Amino acid sequence: MVRGVAILFVIALCAPPLWAGSLSLSRQEQLAHLITQDCGSCHGLNLTGGLGRAITPEALKGRTVEGLQTIVLDGIPGTAMPSWRPLLSETEAKWIAAYLLEVNE
């Protein structure tokens, strides 16, 4: 389990787009659009914070793909951060988590 997380983390650091190979290119484009439009509506268009806090790579330093995937899928109860489970598969949430950790780098 811990090893799996570590491996995912290393892969995410090295090549986020590659390890989400099961997602089509057009779906990846849709997800990138969703991150800007939907996540951006709360976290700011540049993800530097708004209603929700900044989710730039700097702000998320030290976080794991798996940890962020869980936040995206389940939201943060008691806050405005919604659960995206109805809209996104686990693979898609993982892709978004990897995207967040890498974007702007």
Q: Which of 64, 71, 83, 103 binds ligand HEC (CB under 6 A)?
A: 71
**Position 98 contacts ligand HEC (CB under 6 A):** no
CB of 50 to ligand HEC, least distance (A): 8
CA dihedral of 81, 86, 92, 97, whole degrees rounded to 10: 10
Closest-CA residue to 64 (of 25, 100, 105, 28): 100
**Locate tokens 């798996």: which residue?**
66
Contact mark string toward ligand HEC, 2..31, x via CB under 6 A: ------------------------------
Tell me which stretch binds ligand HEC (CB under 6 A): 6-14, 21-29, 72-80.
Answer: 72-80
Contact mark string toward ligand HEC, 35..54, x via CB under 6 A: ---xx-xxx-------xxx-
Q: Let me know if 18 is exposed, middle or buried by CB neighbors in 10 A (0-12, 13-18, 19+).
A: exposed
**Position 80 contacts ligand HEC (CB under 6 A):** yes
CA dihedral of 54, 39, 52, 56, whole degrees rounded to 10: -10
Q: Which of 8, 12, 56, 84 binds ligand HEC (CB under 6 A)?
A: 84
